[in-house]
């Protein structure tokens, strides 16, 4: 029988894991052998699908968690090029880790430990893709692991040995903790400068449900600290099994416009109800059980990208870094596109304005490149200008096709505030106040506000009702898996119904001008959480300027899951157009891969199925979002300056209550969140770690503003014009500057933060 042969040298040298004398960055994932239909039997086709996705998302290493894989897996890794940490089938953590309890420290269990390690090494020793041996997973440490390590070092001195439970003991060659936080890693590197071993996380960035936040922070550290050489995300694929949706739910769903007869079962979905399970804890992959990518995989592709781009001195000059250790950037090209209000110059289908081959940039090298042919255009009122950069392949290489996007980057180079329309130029308004109801009427719209409800209860444009329920203060989100892990429903439960149950103490209406009416609504939140003030300024154009201010109550308050307002749009408004980060779901701590642009999707398409429903489908840094029907009519929400926006055919309560997606009750109306901010999703682990501090919302004062505008038969092109003029008094101080959002600097290549406008914003 023939075998492929490869030659390479693996060593620990100069405190780093090296291959052929070059230090590696391990951009890895943990992989279980799993198929949604055949369980732990996986075909070669399934293996190739995994490798194809990994190669196309910049993943270069796999840990075979937690057992040696099928022999064909190693052959495919040899052929297509993946580093492998090969792991023995040893795990006994249920017994405990204490030296007096763990099997790893009981000599009578020594032969069993050694046998499994020996069989792995003897079977897989000739595969060049295997660069590190792993003694097992979560099985304690002791004399048996020391003996196994000694045997491996004697039998195969060409490869290092790692084992997480060994910690910093001297029978392993790599420090390989699980789920160590960024600050722990930084302290370890600072406090143990004499340590001569690399640090590689055998598990990190727990990708359970809506997760993988903070990933970029690990890689900022890995790229700056030579001893920290990356790690393996937990994990690759949701371990769900395809099951038939119960008949009662299939019958009910016949009346909705979509749905599947199948779902991915987990935990308690198998066996009698009294059988213990870990619920959905096995659903923690970057891809679903059928290999449908979760948004976290797109973030991983960007953070793991081997090509980095940053500004190089002026607006059309950039420095390109090659992070590869052994190959040049031959065969790649940098495509530059100039965006005006999120649309490429020349239209969505225009060719890139500049294409620069990256040939000749060798391993570890960088080069400054200039994008030629871009016009120098000063944007008009309300227009932003960005340069979007894409690194793409010129031709197919292995499993990566020609034209494949390796990485994306963006820089904001200019922007002007919208034009202000004087109130005197607006049509006059009629106003009537009676019995706690204020009715404001313009030439083409009517708005009704209720003191009892504390909101707009009707917003009609040309006779069509656009609201099913008006905007209310909203501070909650359907808990994610990570939220449940750190006790968010209990810790932050004060905010769950705070907006729904607020008590309105005052509503005051006044005419500011013939074409402007202001209605101020004030109230208090339950349990002394604080006070809310919402000011609606209605204009003769139909625009409703909405100003929101939250003032915290006395004493310490828990962090807020979100700060914003929630409304329900009328049935039929089922498409969302927006200018902001996209096209995929993104959050404040997971937005590196989502660039500012113009996007559109049906509301159903915004939904992300995480098997157990939770917060999903959000978009950040939104300049404006238009919710429209088939004829282009609907509602426009314009941030002043930026918003976070989510839209679903489900309520927040439904997303929180359902254990499976098929249990959700689809509704024709659309629940819309128009927020200042939402806290990050986190991802360091799913059993206690919270989002990093800079992505939380502490209990302090918040304020923001946005416009609600009616749309009538508006085309995508006409949407541009609708956002470039605003009524007098709409702009906060920060947007009255010549350039209302900061232009990116070399240190802020992919950042696009809101201006520091008092009252405070998130960042």
Structure tokens at 700: 């302090």
State the average pLDDT over residues 310-323. 90
Q: Check residue 57 and give its pLDDT.
A: 98
CATH of the domain at 337: 2.60.40.10
- Residue 757: pLDDT above 50? no
Of 211, 233, 255, the last residue of a domain is 233
CB-based contact 323:22 (threshold 8 Å): no
State the average pLDDT over residues 727-753. 60
Q: Check residue 762 and give its pLDDT.
A: 30
Same domain, 546 and 635: yes
Residue 299 included in any domain: no
Same domain, 387 and 523: no
Same domain, 59 and 159: yes
State the average pLDDT over residues 114-121. 98
β-pair type (61-63, 26-30): parallel
Same domain, 475 and 605: yes
Q: Check residue 313 and give its pLDDT.
A: 78
Distance CA(322)–CA(337), nearest Å, equals: 21
CB-based contact 199:218 (threshold 8 Å): no
State the average pLDDT over residues 711-729. 82
E strand residue ranges, 492-616? 503-513, 516-524, 530-539, 544-552, 562-569, 575-582, 595-602
CB-based contact 655:664 (threshold 8 Å): yes
Same domain, 580 and 684: yes
Q: Check residue 738 and give its pLDDT.
A: 52
Q: Is 138 a catalytic residue?
A: yes
CATH of the domain at 580: 2.70.98.10
Residue 214 included in any domain: yes
Q: Is 323 a catalytic residue?
A: no
Element (H, E) at 175: none
Q: Check residue 484 and give its pLDDT.
A: 97
What is the pTM assigned to this prediction? 0.94
- Residue 755: pLDDT above 50? no
Question: Does residue 510 sit in helix, strand or coil?
Answer: strand
Residue 241 included in any domain: no
- Residue 222: pLDDT above 90? yes
Distance CA(671)–CA(468), nearest Å, equals: 9
Residue 454 included in any domain: yes
Residue 343 backbone phi and psi in degrees, to 5? -115, 135
Pick the catalytic residue from 33, 87, 203, 547: 203
Instruction: Look at the chain and report how many structural domains it folds into.
Output: 3
CB-based contact 545:707 (threshold 8 Å): yes
Q: 745: pLDDT confidence band, cut at 50, 70 and 90?
A: very low
Residue bearing tokens 């270069």: 60
Same domain, 547 and 652: yes
Same domain, 551 and 689: yes
- Residue 452: pLDDT above 80? yes
Q: 664: pLDDT confidence band, cut at 50, 70 and 90?
A: very high
Q: What percent of the chain has pLDDT over 90?
A: 84
State the average pLDDT over residues 696-722. 88
> 3-state SS string over 428-481?
CCEEEEECCEEEEECCCEEEEEECCCCEEEEEEECCEECEEEEEEEECCCCCCH
Same domain, 548 and 682: yes
Q: What is the pLDDT of residues 617-631, one digit of tens each?
A: 999 999 999 999 999
Nearest-CA neighbor of 611 among 489, 480, 488? 480
Distance CA(237)–CA(86), nearest Å, equals: 18
* CA angle in degrees (0–180, nearest 5) for 271-276-277: 85
Sequence-distant (6+) residues with CB within 8 A of 281 are 208, 267, 686
Distance CA(723)–CA(589), nearest Å, equals: 27
CB-based contact 180:206 (threshold 8 Å): no
Nearest-CA neighbor of 572 among 654, 669, 644? 669
Residue bearing tokens 């969302």: 576
Q: What is the DSSP string of 102-151?
A: -GGG-GGGHHHHHHHHHHHHHHHTT-TTEEEEE--SS---SHHHHHHHHH
- Residue 695: pLDDT above 50? yes
CATH of the domain at 206: 3.20.20.80
E strand residue ranges, 302-365? 307-311, 317-322, 332-340, 343-344, 354-357
Q: What is the pLDDT of residues 126-137, one digit of tens each?
A: 999 999 999 999
Question: Does residue 265 sit in helix, strand or coil?
Answer: strand
Same domain, 48 and 186: yes
Sequence-distant (6+) residues with CB within 8 A of 459 are 445, 446, 447, 448, 465, 466, 467, 470, 544, 635, 708, 710
Distance CA(120)–CA(133), nearest Å, equals: 9
Q: What is the DSSP string of 5-61?
A: -----EEEETTEEEETTEE--EEEEE----BTTTBT---HHHHHHHHHHHHHTT--E
* CA angle in degrees (0–180, nearest 5) for 234-238-244: 170
- Residue 750: pLDDT above 60? no
Q: Check residue 753 and give its pLDDT.
A: 30
Residue 678 backbone phi and psi in degrees, to 5? -130, 145
Q: Give the highest mean pLDDT range of 191-200, 335-344, 597-606, 723-732.
A: 597-606
Distance CA(190)–CA(487), nearest Å, equals: 32
Distance CA(243)–CA(285), nearest Å, equals: 18
Of 416, 447, 475, the last residue of a domain is 416
Distance CA(423)–CA(300), nearest Å, equals: 48
State the average pLDDT over residues 513-528. 96
Pick the catalytic residue from 138, 345, 433, 469: 138
Residue 461 included in any domain: yes
CB-based contact 451:504 (threshold 8 Å): yes
Cα Rg of the chain (Å, integer): 28
Q: Check residue 719 and give its pLDDT.
A: 72
Distance CA(536)–CA(761), nearest Å, equals: 20
Q: What is the pLDDT of residues 174-219, one digit of tens each?
A: 999 999 999 999 999 998 877 889 999 999 999 999 999 999 999 9
- Residue 68: pLDDT above 70? yes
Q: Check residue 751 and give its pLDDT.
A: 30
Distances (CA, A) of 523 to 206, 233, 451, 456, 507: 40, 46, 10, 15, 9
Of 233, 255, 286, the last residue of a domain is 233
Range name among 255-269, 271-285, 716-730, 746-760 with the lowest pLDDT average: 746-760
Same domain, 136 and 182: yes
Structure tokens at 395: 């031709």
Residue 634 belongs to what domain range?
429-731
Q: 746: pLDDT confidence band, cut at 50, 70 and 90?
A: very low
- Residue 40: pLDDT above 70? yes
Q: Check residue 758 and give its pLDDT.
A: 34
10 Å CB burial of residue 243 (0-12, 13-18, 19+) is middle
Residue 497 included in any domain: yes
CB-based contact 469:454 (threshold 8 Å): no
Same domain, 77 and 168: yes
Residue 272 included in any domain: no
Residue 515 included in any domain: yes
Distance CA(196)–CA(16), nearest Å, equals: 8
Element (H, E) at 623: strand 619-628
Same domain, 561 and 604: yes
Distance CA(355)–CA(188), nearest Å, equals: 43
State the average pLDDT over residues 516-527. 97
User: Taking the CB of residue 699, how many other CB atoms lie within 10 A of it?
Assistant: 19
Q: What is the pLDDT of residues 404-434, one digit of tens each?
A: 999 999 999 888 899 999 999 999 999 999 9
Tell me the pLDDT of the chain averaged across its residues: 92
Nearest-CA neighbor of 714 among 538, 577, 585? 577
Q: What is the DSSP string of 630-667?
A: TTS-EEEEEEEEEEEEEEESS-HHHHHH-SSGGG----
């Amino acid at each position: 029988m023939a075998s492929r042969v490869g030659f390479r040298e693996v060593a620990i040298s100069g405190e780093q894991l090296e291959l052929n004398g070059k230090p590696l960055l391990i951009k890895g994932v943990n992989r279980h052998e799993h198929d949604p239909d055949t369980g732990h039997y996986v075909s070669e086709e399934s293996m190739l699908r995994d490798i194809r996705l990994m190669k196309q998302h910049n993943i270069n290493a796999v840990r075979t968690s937690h057992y040696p894989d099928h022999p064909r897996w190693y052959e495919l890794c040899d052929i297509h090029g993946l580093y492998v940490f090969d792991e023995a089938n040893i795990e006994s953590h249920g017994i405990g880790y204490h030296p007096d309890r763990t099997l790893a420290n009981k000599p009578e269990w020594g032969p069993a430990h050694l046998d499994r390690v020996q069989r792995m090494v003897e079977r897989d020793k000739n595969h060049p893709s295997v660069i590190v041996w792993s003694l097992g997973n979560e099985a304690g440490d002791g004399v048996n692991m020391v003996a196994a390590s000694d045997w491996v070092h004697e039998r195969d001195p060409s490869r290092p040995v790692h084992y997480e439970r060994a910690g910093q003991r001297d029978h392993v060659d790599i420090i390989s903790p699980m789920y160590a936080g960024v600050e722990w890693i930084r302290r370890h590197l600072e406090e143990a400068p004499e340590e001569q071993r690399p640090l590689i996380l055998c598990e990190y960035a727990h990708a359970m449900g809506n997760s993988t936040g903070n990933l970029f922070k690990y890689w900022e550290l890995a790229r700056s600290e030579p001893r920290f050489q990356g790690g393996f995300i937990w994990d690759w694929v949701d371990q769900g099994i395809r099951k038939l949706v119960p008949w009662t739910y299939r019958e009910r769903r016949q009346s909705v416009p979509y749905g599947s007869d199948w779902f991915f079962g987990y935990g308690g979905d198998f066996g009698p109800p009294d059988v213990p399970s870990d619920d959905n804890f096995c659903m923690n992959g970057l891809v679903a059980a059928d290999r449908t990518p979760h948004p976290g995989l797109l973030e991983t592709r960007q953070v793991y990208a081997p090509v980095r781009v940053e500004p190089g001195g002026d607006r059309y000059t950039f420095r390109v870094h090659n992070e590869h250790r052994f190959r040049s950037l031959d065969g790649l090209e940098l495509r530059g596109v100039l965006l005006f209000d999120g649309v490429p110059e020349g239209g969505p289908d225009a060719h890139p304005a500049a294409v620069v081959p990256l040939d000749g940039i060798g391993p570890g090298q960088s080069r400054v490149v200039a994008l030629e042919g871009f016009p120098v255009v000063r944007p008009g009122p309300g227009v932003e200008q960005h340069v979007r950069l894409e690194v793409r392949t010129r031709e197919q290489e292995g499993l990566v096709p020609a034209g494949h996007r390796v990485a994306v980057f963006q820089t904001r180079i200019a922007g002007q505030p919208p034009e202000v329309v004087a109130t005197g130029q607006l049509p006059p308004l009629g106003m009537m106040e009676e019995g706690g109801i204020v009715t404001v009427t313009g030439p083409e719209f009517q708005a009704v506000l209720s003191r009892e409800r504390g909101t707009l209860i009707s917003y009609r444009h040309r006779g069509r009702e656009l609201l099913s329920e008006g905007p209310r203060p909203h501070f909650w989100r359907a808990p994610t898996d990570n939220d449940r892990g750190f006790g968010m429903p209990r810790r932050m439960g004060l905010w769950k119904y705070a907006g729904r149950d607020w008590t309105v103490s005052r509503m005051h209406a006044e005419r500011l001008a013939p074409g402007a009416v202001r209605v101020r609504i004030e109230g208090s939140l339950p349990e002394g959480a604080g006070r809310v003030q919402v000011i609606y300024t209605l204009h003769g154009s139909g625009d409703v300027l909405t100003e929101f201010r939250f003032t915290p109550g006395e004493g310490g308050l828990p962090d807020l899951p979100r700060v914003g307002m929630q409304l329900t749009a009328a049935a039929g408004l089922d498409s969302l157009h927006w200018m902001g980060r996209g096209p995929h779901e993104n959050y404040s701590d997971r937005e590196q891969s989502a660039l500012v642009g113009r996007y559109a999707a049906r509301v159903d398409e915004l939904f992300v199925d995480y098997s157990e429903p939770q917060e999903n489908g959000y978009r950040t840094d939104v300049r404006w979002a238009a919710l429209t029907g088939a004829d282009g009519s609907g509602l426009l929400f314009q941030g002043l300056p930026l918003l976070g926006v989510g839209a679903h055919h489900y309520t927040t309560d439904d997303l929180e209550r359902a254990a499976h997606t098929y249990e959700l009750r689809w509704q024709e109306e659309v629940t819309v969140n128009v927020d200042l901010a939402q806290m990050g999703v986190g991802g360091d682990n799913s059993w206690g770690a919270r989002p990093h501090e800079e992505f939380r919302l502490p209990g302090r004062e918040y304020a923001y503003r946005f416009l609600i505008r009616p749309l009538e038969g508006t085309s995508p092109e006409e949407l541009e014009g609708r956002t470039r003029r605003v009524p007098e008094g709409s702009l906060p101080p920060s947007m009255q500057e010549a350039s209302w959002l900061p232009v990116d600097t070399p240190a802020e290549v992919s950042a696009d933060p809101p201006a520091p406008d008092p009252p405070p914003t998130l960042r």
